[in-house]
Amino acid sequence: MEALESSLDPLIKDAVGYAPKAFLALITLIIGLWLVRIVTHVLGRMLGVRHVDKSLATFLTSLTGWTLRVLLCISVASTIGIETTSFVAVMGAAGLAVGMAPSPRTTAG
């Protein structure tokens, strides 16, 4: 029984030490999702008032919402303690690839 208690003791100490980070990450996630909903709603209304084409307005609000959600997930992961540098680098490379895709290609010869 003592062996079980001695093996669980470090686990309990780690869990207690990790609890504030997890709580802060949960609060960040809840507030962030609420703010994303508000921003996308306001953007949709602004585009509607400006008489932007409905399909374009839907696309822009959806793109904005998903971009903000991805950034929120990276922020929450960073709050928990996950190293997010590689995620940001991959997103930057993907953005560069998407941005370069429609550019005209030159051919030699």
Cα torsion 72, 77, 78, 79: sign = positive
Tell me: the pLDDT tens digits for 45-62? 999 999 999 999 999 999
Greatest Cα-to-Cα distance within the chain, rounded to the nearest angstrom: 80
> What's this model's pTM, rounded to 2 decimal places?
0.78
b/e sequence 12-21, b meaning 16+ C-beta within 10 Å? eeeeeeeeee
Tell me: the pLDDT tens digits for 30-45? 999 999 999 999 999 9
Structural domains of the chain, ranges and CATH numbers in brackets: 20-94 (1.10.287.1260)
